[in-house]
């Protein structure tokens, strides 16, 4: 028998395809992930903090909002006035000027400390093995641990006619610049603002130094191999690496600028005239010495809304660029 007449080998019949129910497909094969199960019991752990926050923050703010619609002297019965208090806040030159003063303090409380803190953090970061690293950080952070009332008293002495600032000016031959800084209509606002810059510098420096330590050192080595100098290294490596820390610093310092009270109250009391008056100081005066509780509450509500809007805008910008 030749090979042509040999019967073809029998092949096994193909196995029937397994049918699979749609509902039986494993989650891992479909790429779907089940979210964590929400345990209602977990919310009970947040309840104590939520109760405290409601009692000491939300409830007083709502009561302030209610009082802002009344004309009330704090003793007799209040009279409903609708939006008159808000109209007064937005049209009275003295009240609107205080809001502009608070916004202007952002330049001293935010821009100057962050700019100076970035430069100092970069310089100290390049000399990370230096002996003065811990000492400089401690000295510059010192204003943050001193009460703001004490800061105001210290700088009131330094800005006095015979204070340290004028003595230094006399020592370097600038006698004509010596003056009573906190009583000068031109320089009082700048003098108070520089106190805020001094207070906020330490906080910004510590934030930026902590951020620099998280940056991968290989990035600096690569930049140096490419021939980058200190300025290029700062702009290309350090500054992008500190984006999150800059967002935190801007948020904290802007809130401090808009809600400033202690330093202004101790150093100038809002003077000379109204050149350094801020909303926090006016709220105190209107509510406790002026008998205009409704107007003070309206100004407080406007200030809180302004701070909330600014903080939300900063958070949104930081999140979009992150």
What digits encode the pLDDT tens for the residues 33-49?
A: 555 666 778 788 889 99
The mean of the pLDDT values for the chain is 84
Query: What is the structure's pLDDT at 18?
Result: 47
pTM given for the model: 0.79
**Alpha carbon distance 302, 264 (integer Å):** 20
Q: How far apart are CA 67 and CA 70, in angstroms?
A: 5
Burial 240-266 (b: 16+ CB within 10 A, else e): ebbeebbbbbbbbbbbbbbbbebbbbb
Residue 68 has pLDDT above 90, yes or no: yes
Do residues 294 and 78 make contact, with C-beta atoms less than 8 angstroms apart?
yes
Q: What is the pLDDT of residue 132?
A: 54
Which carries the bigger pLDDT value, residue 1 or residue 45? 45
Task: Kindly report, residue by residue over 219-243, the tens digit of the pLDDT.
Answer: 888 888 888 888 888 888 888 888 8
Helix (H, G, I), strand (E, B) or coil at 263: helix
* Residue listed under structure tokens 């600038």: 174
Give pLDDT, residue 113. 94
pLDDT at 126 over 80: no
pLDDT number for residue 88: 92
Q: pLDDT tens digits for 184-211? A: 999 999 999 999 999 999 899 889 988 8
* Tokens coding 137: 């950080």
The pLDDT of 113-117, averaged and rounded, is 93
Please report the pLDDT score of residue 131 as a whole number. Answer: 54
Q: Which two tokens stand for residue 132?
A: 């003065």
Q: How far apart are CA 16 and CA 108, in angstroms?
A: 79
**Span 246-303, pLDDT tens digits:** 989 999 999 999 999 999 999 999 889 889 999 999 999 999 988 899 999 999 999 9
């Amino acid at each position: 028998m030749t090979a042509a007449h040999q019967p073809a080998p029998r092949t096994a019949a193909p196995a029937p395809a397994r049918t699979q129910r749609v509902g039986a497909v494993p989650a891992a094969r479909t790429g779907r992930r089940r979210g964590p199960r929400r345990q209602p019991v977990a919310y009970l752990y947040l309840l104590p903090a939520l109760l405290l926050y409601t009692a000491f923050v939300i409830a007083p703010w709502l009561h302030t909002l209610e009082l802002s619609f009344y004309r009330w002297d704090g003793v007799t019965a209040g009279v409903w006035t609708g939006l008159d208090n808000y109209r007064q806040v937005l049209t009275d030159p003295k009240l609107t000027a205080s809001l502009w003063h608070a916004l202007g303090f952002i330049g001293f409380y935010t821009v100057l400390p962050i700019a100076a803190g970035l430069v100092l953090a970069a310089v100290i970061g390049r000399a990370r093995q230096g002996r003065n690293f811990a000492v400089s950080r401690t000295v510059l952070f010192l204003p943050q641990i001193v009460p703001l009332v004490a800061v105001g008293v210290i700088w009131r002495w330094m800005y006095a006619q015979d204070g340290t600032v004028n003595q230094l000016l006399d020592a370097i031959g600038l006698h004509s610049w010596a003056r009573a800084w906190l009583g000068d209509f031109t320089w009082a606002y700048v003098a108070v603002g520089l106190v805020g810059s001094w207070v906020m510098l330490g906080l910004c420096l510590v934030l930026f130094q902590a951020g620099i330590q998280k940056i991968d050192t290989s990035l600096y080595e690569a930049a140096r191999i490419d021939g980058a100098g200190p300025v290029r290294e700062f702009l290309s490596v350090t500054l992008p690496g500190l984006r999150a820390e800059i967002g935190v610093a801007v948020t904290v310092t802007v809130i401090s600028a808009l809600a400033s009270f202690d330093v202004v109250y101790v150093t100038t009391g809002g003077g000379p005239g109204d050149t350094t008056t801020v909303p926090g100081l006016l709220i105190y005066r209107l509510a406790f010495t002026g008998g205009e509780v409704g107007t003070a509450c309206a100004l407080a509500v406007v200030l809180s809304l302004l701070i909330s809007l600014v903080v939300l805008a900063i958070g949104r910008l930081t999140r979009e660029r992150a």
